[in-house]
Each structure stands twice: as structure tokens, then as C-alpha cells.
Structure 1
Amino acid sequence: MNFELLFILLILGAVVGTMSGLLGIGGGLIVVPALAYLLPMFGISAELVMQIALATSLASIIITSGSSALNHLKLGNVDIFVIKWLLPGVIVGGLIGSFVADWIPFQYLPKLFALIVLALAIQMILSISSSSSRPLPSPGATSCYGAIIGMVSSLAGIGGGSMSVPFLSKHGVEMRRAVGSSSVCGCVIAISGMIGFIFHGTKADGLPEYSLGYVYVPALLAIAITSMLTTRFGAKLATTMPTPKLKKIFAVFLVFVSFSMMF
């Protein structure tokens, strides 16, 4: 860790916090590709970069999504029924995703991340022109979908907003409440996934100093400091911006991240 990297991570945290409050994402869609690009430049082994990026991203999501969730709760943007039935699934799925990520060879993790995000981008783009809405499925089915969200999100180091927001919006949850509920779920996914990455990281060799398992603590703190300050700004934007514009911003953002990571 040096001052140049610290400054970059502070800026990164400010962007992450704004996007978390605005779109209900935990910031992993920014943090993972950013750390995957930055860490090798500062001496981190290529074999460890993606695991560190995923784990540190999830750890930062605990803070950014938690802060965003509190702001949305104050603004009345959280659906308690949705949270009640999604959470059991996302906890289990988050743990499973961390185990799968540790099993996959390191050279395939960036491509897998890009494919997951591209699939999420396509899903969101299709939902923009779709006006159909249906009731939420049964509590059991909602929990199963939560498990899928948790597993894929942990595997990609993201908070799950890119899956839970379209799911909730499609099932009749108003967009602002979908974003707020997603922030709560994202915090829980991050906690579950981070525990798994810490466990697996205790067995890894060559980790940088001040690491907790695969979580690189200096990067986590730098991102967290500024992200906590900007989530409120993003949450206020989510309250004032119209739903179609939110969906378009979300979809374009996902496409950009996917292609930047793929190539």
C-alpha cells in the first residue's frame, strides 16, 4: 500500500457509494474490475488477484450496502415482506458462492465475472421495454430465488442488486422500494460471502501484509471511508429520479462493466 494506490481507492470508494445509493448495488461491479486492474500493478500475485478482489469487494459491500440500506429505511424505500423471504436464501447462496469461487482456477474467474455481468445486463435491458408485472411467488420460491442471487453474487463479488432489483421490479415492487430492499439483501450477501472467503484465505500462501483471509484490509478501509459519505447522495437521487431513467442507467452501466472486464 502506498499513497498513489490509497488516493485511487479513495476516489473509487466515492464512486461506489454514489452508485450503491442510486442503484441498490453494493459496488462490486466497480470494485472487482478496478482491483483486478490495480492490484497486479502494486505487486500482488496474479494467482491471488481475483480472490482478493472478490473478497475485498464483498467486505466493502457490507459497509456501502449497510449505509445505503439505512438511508433507504429512513426514506421508506424498503419492503419488509420481500426482505423476510429473500434473506434465508441469500445467506445460504452467499456461502456456496465463496466455496465455488475458491474451487475455480484463477485464470477463469475474470471471464466468469464478465459473463455473469453480461447476462445481468441483457436481463435488465429486456426489462426496460417490458411492462408486464406479476405478483411475487410463494415465500418458498422467493427464498429459492434468493439462494440463486446469493450464490451468483458471492461468486462475482457483487451485492446482488443487479439480480434482485430486476426480479422485484418485474414482480410489481415499485422501483425505489426494489432498490432499497436490494441494499438490505446486498449487505447480508456480502457478510455471508466474506465469511467464506476469509475461511478459504487462511489456507492461501503469498497474501499481502494486513490481509484477513482473502480480504485486503487497507484497500477495504480506503474504499469504505469515502463510500459511506456518498451513499446518502445516491439514495436521494434514487428518490427523485423517474423509474425508466433508473433502469436505463442500470442497464448501460452493466454493459460497460461486462465488456471492460471481458477484454
Structure 2
Amino acid sequence: MDVGLILILLAMGAGGGFAAGLLGIGGGMVLVPFITMIFTSHGFPPEHIVHMAIATSLATILFTSISSVRAHHKHGAVNWRIVAMLAPGIVVGAWVGPWIAKQMNTTVLSVFFGVFVAASATQMLIGKKPAGSRELPGTAGMFAAGGVIGVIAGLVGAGGGFLSVPFMTWCNVRIHNAVATSAALGFPIALAGTLSNIWFGMGTPGLPEYSLGFIYLPALAGIAAASVVMAPVGARAAHRMPVDRLRRVFAVVLYCLAAYMLWKAFN
């Protein structure tokens, strides 16, 4: 790879890692459109570009989540009971998500990603407050919620924070605890999704050299290296800065990225 591409990957990793630590989102929704642009510019097979971008993004969260959650744990913000209740459903869902993605062509997957990211941005902007009496559901409800989070996270290559943070805050979990707990949930999502993308991608014809299933290893290495450094910085910032204001800015960024993916789908 040329030096320019390495610098771009490092910059992407730094931005995604900071976002992961700050908002507990895993960075995937930010990374996928940019990885798609890079793969397109380097002439990767069009029918595999979005699948590979999503798989590579999801794999980076294996490293980002560990770095991010350590920083949040030092603040005592991770609710490990919620992690334990959501994780089983998340693992099942995150394995199924990439299998569903494999059945979709690039256009359909791009549209799904763009629409879902735009919907997530809208939810961030609205920020509707939950009823004061609302609580987390029981074991079955948490398993089902985890399954939904895992499937969609596996489909869009993200850490699931775009669903798990709103879900937890809707159930009256404090926003800083929701962000920290979402960061911890990123690891089981990424692990199951990464193994699934390797398994279902193995033997797929036309994948470029240095691919492991749908994961492009050079991009994974460059992005992960920078994201691990920046995730703790974002986590520390989350405990010092007005998160609501930052979420509004982040929502605008998501709208721009969603627009790109929709443009990509129809061009």
C-alpha cells in the first residue's frame, strides 16, 4: 500500500476510535462510507465493496471496544449486569446479521445502510425523553433486544451503540452509563460478526488479495492501530463534555454519510 493510503486509514481509525469512546457507537457508521470510498477508488470488485467495508469496519471494533471499555470502566460507568443480560442475544444476532447481508446485493445493502443511518441520526436529534417509570425488561426481553441489536449491527458493520444507547436511555439508564455499557457490548457484537464474516466470506470468488473472508486485512490493521489509541481519548471526553450537544453534531455527520451511501447505491 502507498503512504497516502496508510495515512488515510490511520486518520479514519483515529476518528472512528474517538467516536466509539465518546458515544459508545463502535465507530462503524462513520467508517463504512469512508472504507467504501477507498475500496471504490482502488478498483475493488463492485459487487463486494459494501460487504467488505461492513465486515472490515466490524472487525476493527474488536480492538476499539477493548480500548474504550477500559477507559469507561476506570470511571465505574459500565453496568456489567446489563452487559450480561444483553450479550447472549447479541452474539446470536451478530452471527446471523452477516449471513443476511451476504444474501443482499451491493445496491440493496447500500440502501439499507443509508436509510438506517439516517433514521439513527433522526433519533439522535429528537432525543425524546422516556417515561419516568420505564425500566429494563426481564431476561427474555433483554435477549430479544440483544438479538435485534446484534442482527442490525452485523448488517451495517457497527458496534450497536446506535441502538443499545437509545434503548438503555429509554429505559432510564443514565446516558453516561449507557454509553459506557454500549462500549462493552461492542466486543461480543464484533467477535460474533467478525467470525461470521470470515465464515460466510471464505471461498467467495473475486475477493482481492489479503482478504480473510469479507475482511480486508491491510485496512483492518491500519484503522485498528489508530482507533485503539483514540478510543480512550473519546471515552475521557465523554465524561467531561456536554454529550447532548455532541450528539446533535454527530447526527448531522451521519446524515451526510447516509446521503453518500444512498448516492452510491443508485450510481
With the length of structure 1 as denominator, give the TM-score of the two structures: 0.95
**Offset at 1:164?**
0.4
Report the counterpart of residue 132 of structure 1 in structure 2: 131
Query: Aligned partners of 2:33 and 2:55: how far apart in 1?
Result: 13
Query: Aligned partners of 2:24 and 2:120: how far apart in 1?
Result: 14
**Offset at 1:250?**
4.3
**Offset at 1:245?**
2.5
Report the counterpart of residue 79 of structure 2 in structure 1: 79
Task: Read off the aligned partner of 2:25 and give its amino acid letter.
Answer: I
Report the counterpart of residue 10 of structure 1 in structure 2: 10
Listed as ranges, the gaps of 5+ residues in structure 2 are none
Q: Which moves more between the two structures, 157-166 or 248-257?
A: 248-257
The one-character-per-residue Cα deviations of 1:216-235 (angstroms, maximum 9, x if unpaired) are: 11000000111111111101
**Offset at 1:123?**
2.4
Q: How does 1:236-247 map to 2 (within 5 A)?
A: 236-247=236-247
**Offset at 1:119?**
1.9
Q: How does 1:152-167 map to 2 (within 5 A)?
A: 152-167=152-167
Report the counterpart of residue 179 of structure 1 in structure 2: 179
Q: Is the Cα–Cα contact under 8 Å of residues 20 and 234 in structure 2 kept in the other structure?
A: yes
**Offset at 1:193?**
0.8
Query: Aligned partners of 2:250 and 2:43: how far apart in 1?
Result: 33
**Offset at 1:187?**
1.5
Equivalent residues, number: 262
Query: Aligned partners of 2:259 and 2:165: how far apart in 1?
Result: 21
Report the counterpart of residue 66 of structure 1 in structure 2: 66
Q: Is the Cα–Cα contact under 8 Å of residues 54 and 156 in structure 1 kept in the other structure?
A: yes
1:36 paired to 2:36? yes
Judging changes above 3 Å, is the alpha-carbon distance between structure 1 residues 60 and 119 closer, same or farther for their aligned structure 2 residues? same
Report the counterpart of residue 46 of structure 2 in structure 1: 46
CA-based RMSD of the aligned residues comes to 1.4
Q: Is the Cα–Cα contact under 8 Å of residues 21 and 232 in structure 1 kept in the other structure?
A: yes
The one-character-per-residue Cα deviations of 1:105-144 (angstroms, maximum 9, x if unpaired) are: 1222111111111222222323x24253411111210110
Report the counterpart of residue 215 of structure 1 in structure 2: 215
Query: Aligned partners of 1:252 and 1:35: how far apart in 2?
Result: 19
Same amino acid, percent of matched pairs:
38
The one-character-per-residue Cα deviations of 1:199-238 (angstroms, maximum 9, x if unpaired) are: 1111211222111111111000000111111111101110
Q: Is the Cα–Cα contact under 8 Å of residues 57 and 157 in structure 1 kept in the other structure?
A: yes
1:104 paired to 2:104? yes
1:226 paired to 2:220? no
Query: Aligned partners of 1:66 and 1:2: how far apart in 2?
Result: 29
**Offset at 1:174?**
0.7
Query: Aligned partners of 1:40 and 1:186: how far apart in 2?
Result: 27
Judging changes above 3 Å, is the alpha-carbon distance between structure 1 residues 7 and 243 closer, same or farther for their aligned structure 2 residues? closer
Q: Is the Cα–Cα contact under 8 Å of residues 114 and 261 in structure 1 kept in the other structure?
A: yes
Q: Is the Cα–Cα contact under 8 Å of residues 30 and 254 in structure 2 kept in the other structure?
A: no
Report the counterpart of residue 93 of structure 1 in structure 2: 93
Judging changes above 3 Å, is the alpha-carbon distance between structure 1 residues 246 and 85 closer, same or farther for their aligned structure 2 residues? farther
Task: Read off the aligned partner of 1:19 and give its amino acid letter.
Answer: A
Listed as ranges, the gaps of 5+ residues in structure 1 are none
**Offset at 1:154?**
0.4
Task: Read off the aligned partner of 1:132 and give its amino acid letter.
Answer: A
Task: Read off the aligned partner of 1:15 and give its amino acid letter.
Answer: G
